[in-house]
Amino acid sequence: MPRHLLSYVVAATISGWTSFVVCFARFPISWRRGGISDWGNTHLTIVPYAAGLLATALFTGLAVRSIPSNDNRFDLHRRLLRANSVLLVGVLLTPPVVWGHAVGLLHLAISSTLFATQLVLGLLLYAMVRDNRIGIGAFALQVIGCLITLLSLRHVFEALLVGQLMAQCGFGLLLIVGSWRLAAELSGDRRSDSRQTPGGVLPGRAT
């Protein structure tokens, strides 16, 4: 149901970031050369890493189910969220160090597709919350993070983990703000824009 959408999205975001924090505490990797996936390649962090990805995928899938399938306005949102959930599992199941170079290439392809999917979804959500300061800042953070990640993979400079975490932070925050607006749309909420949410206009149809 629409009222559960925000709860599932918040749960997915918290699951992912809890996993990142626990993994970094147990196995601090290089901010310059390390990447999030490195936590899936060592016994020290494989459990919290896997639990975080699976929980995030699960709650994202539940968020998809909370968006009515008969509402064609948000069909693309559903598809991208569902793809995000599936790709998270794909990232988990392709640890490059464990399975070798060929699987490493597959892992890179899945990870790149995940970030691209999140960026497209971020753009859709930004279009819904462009009157909200937090939403604007979150999308900017996501874009900058994706750019840093791409340049790090191309060896222009080294800040892979920084870029990845920035992108995930921006995407997670944008997903929460966007889902708040989306849930209001689905609930037929037409409350006045004079009441404020943190950072901007109350979720509802933008004027």
Task: Report pTM.
Answer: 0.85
Distances from the Cα of 93 to the Cα of 76, 110, 139, angstroms: 26, 10, 28
- How does pLDDT run along the chain (207 residues), one tens digit per residue? 566 899 999 999 999 999 999 999 999 998 877 899 999 988 999 999 999 999 999 999 999 999 888 878 899 999 999 999 999 999 999 987 766 778 889 999 999 999 999 999 999 999 999 999 999 999 999 999 999 999 998 888 889 999 999 999 999 999 999 999 888 887 774 343 434 455 554 444 443
Q: Are 121 and 78 in contact (CB under 8 A)?
A: no
154: number of CA atoms within 13 Å, CB side?
7
Q: Which residue type does 68 have? A: P
| Helix segments in 27-132, DSSP class H | 46-65, 75-92, 96-99, 101-129
**CA pair distance 90, 94, nearest whole angstrom:** 6
Q: Give pLDDT, residue 203.
A: 46
Task: Let me know: does 158 contact 152? Beta carbons within 8 Å.
Answer: yes
d(CA 20, CA 161): 11
- Residue 168's contacts (CB-CB under 8 Å, 6 or more residues apart) are 16, 17, 20, 36, 145
How many angstroms separate the CA atoms of 7 and 134, rounded? 18
